[in-house]
Amino acid sequence: MILDYKGISVFYTDEGSGIPVVLLHGFLENTSMWKKTIPHISKNNRVISIDLLGHGQTGCMGYLHTMEDKADMVKTVLDHLKINKAILIGHSMGGYVALAFAELFPKIVLGICLANSTSQADSNERKLNRNRAIKAVKQNHKAFVSMAVTNLFAESNRDKFKDDIELVKQEALKTPLQGIIAALEGMKIRKNREHILKNAHFKKLLIIGLKDTVIQADTLVIEAKSTNTDLIELKGGHMSHIENESLFLRNIVHFIENL
């Protein structure tokens, strides 16, 4: 389905009935990443999946999409659907958006699951890497996407999931240059939101990949302890929904059912 937001088209899906669950994809992803997740959750819940700004079938608003911009767009979709309470599940960048949403609209949030994500801001080194990525994608869009997607998977899993990696690349290549740059710029300047987890009135879960090269597992373990957030450790890399599909689904469903 398509909704107008500040002059651009926003794509979303809406399936099932029950307590609403909002699925927020990561960088270079879109609603298609949830194709195996939605059937499991929509058995007992209403599931809304949204293409974030500059990704999938949702347009761009410029060359900077902040996490707050994306959160405001999510709120517009929920308002359109007359949803005033929801559980948020965000993968990677989608987790950053979920936390920004919780800061802006705390009364709506029933729970947040951060999958391969963090409440921490970018380190100085990470910000430099974002700048390098912006330069690289401007030079060769296809090569950047190919390398970026491959690196999301644990090195030991890359042969095993080579077909999945190819499918993820195909979807990632649909992300326009402007959308990639705007997302990188937005992630680079995002705020530290550990206080959102620490002071949360809602249930929270952190799912991590022990071989994640994007967000180091040891820092996430510390984050979970310091913010009193439930933690699930999986053996793969950054793409838990693919590398550990059955365990990922089981823990997501358990989280939703036990709010």
pTM above 0.95? Answer: yes
pLDDT tens, per residue, the chain with 259 residues:
999 999 999 999 999 999 999 999 999 999 999 999 999 999 999 999 999 999 999 999 999 999 999 999 999 999 999 999 999 999 999 999 999 999 999 999 999 999 999 999 999 999 999 999 999 999 999 999 999 999 999 999 999 999 999 999 999 999 999 999 999 999 999 999 999 999 999 999 999 999 999 999 999 999 999 999 999 999 999 999 999 999 999 999 999 999 8
CATH number assigned to the domain with residue range 2-257, chosen from the 4 options 3.30.70.100, 3.40.50.1820, 3.40.1160.10, 3.90.105.10: 3.40.50.1820
pLDDT at residue 114 in the model: 98
Cα Rg for the chain, rounded, in angstroms? 17
How high is the mean pLDDT of the chain? 98
- Residue 167 pLDDT: 98
Q: Where exactly are the structural domains of the chain?
A: 2-257
> What is the reported pLDDT for 99?
98
pLDDT at 92: 98
At 94 the pLDDT is 99
* Residue-level pLDDT at 19: 98
